[in-house]
C-alpha cells in the first residue's frame, strides 16, 4: 500500500475513486511471490479485475470493535498512519504486513480498545449498582433486614 501511495500520491483507503489502471498497479504491487510474472495483472479480464477489487474492499474478519461516539473530523487512512498505529500500540509489523488490510485494522482497533483505561463512572452510579447487587445477594441468600 505504501508503494502504491508513494507512486500515486493519494490515500488508497481514501474517498477518492481509483481508476482501473491504478487498481491494476495496486494488484501488481501486491504480488507476494517473486515467481509470478508481474505482467500477469495486465492480462486480467474486466470480471477478474472486479473480483479482485471486491476482494480488496471486503472485510476478512469477524472481529467487531465497540464504537465510541466520534469526535472531530476522521483522519484519512494512509499506510503511514497505519504504521504509526502499529508502532504506537507496539504491534509488530510482521506478520501483519502480509495480512488482509481489514484484519490488520481490526487488530489495531481491538488493541487500542483493550489498552484504553476504563471510563470514569459517577459515584452515584457506582452506589446504585452496589445497592442493587446488595439487594440481589440478600434475596438470593434469604437475608432480611
Residue 67 lies in a domain: no
Q: Which residues constitute the domain of residue 121?
A: 74-145
Which cell goes with 66?
Answer: 465497540
pLDDT surpasses 80 at 115: yes
Q: Are residues 28 and 85 in the same domain?
A: no
Sole residue written with cell 504506537: 88
Residue 63 lies in a domain: no
Residue 21 lies in a domain: yes
Q: Are residues 91 and 145 in the same domain?
A: yes
Q: Are residues 8 and 39 in the same domain?
A: yes
pLDDT of residue 145: 72
pLDDT surpasses 90 at 9: yes
H or E stretch covering 85: helix 79-88
Q: How confident is the model at residue 73 (pLDDT cuts 50, 70, 90)?
A: low
Residue 68 lies in a domain: no
91 Rama sector, left if φ>0, alpha if ψ -120 to 50, beta otherwise: beta
Q: How many domains does the chain have?
A: 2
Residue 20 lies in a domain: yes
- Confidence (pTM): 0.56
Count CB atoms within 10 A of the CB of residue 103: 15
Amino acid at each position: 500500500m505504501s508503494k502504491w501511495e508513494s507512486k500515486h500520491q493519494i490515500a488508497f483507503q481514501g474517498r477518492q475513486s481509483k481508476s482501473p489502471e491504478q487498481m491494476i498497479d495496486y494488484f501488481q504491487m501486491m504480488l507476494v511471490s517473486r515467481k509470478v510474472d508481474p505482467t500477469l495483472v495486465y492480462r486480467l479480464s474486466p470480471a477478474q479485475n472486479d473480483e479482485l477489487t471486491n476482494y480488496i474492499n471486503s472485510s476478512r474478519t469477524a472481529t467487531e470493535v465497540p464504537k465510541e461516539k466520534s469526535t472531530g473530523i476522521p483522519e484519512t487512512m494512509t499506510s503511514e498512519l497505519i504504521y504509526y498505529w502499529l508502532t504506537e500500540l507496539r504491534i509488530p509489523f510482521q506478520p501483519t504486513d502480509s495480512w488482509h488490510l481489514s484484519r490488520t485494522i481490526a487488530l489495531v482497533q481491538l488493541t487500542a480498545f483493550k489498552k484504553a483505561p476504563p471510563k470514569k463512572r459517577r459515584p452515584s452510579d457506582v452506589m446504585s449498582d452496589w445497592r442493587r447487587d446488595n439487594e440481589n445477594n440478600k434475596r438470593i441468600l434469604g437475608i432480611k433486614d
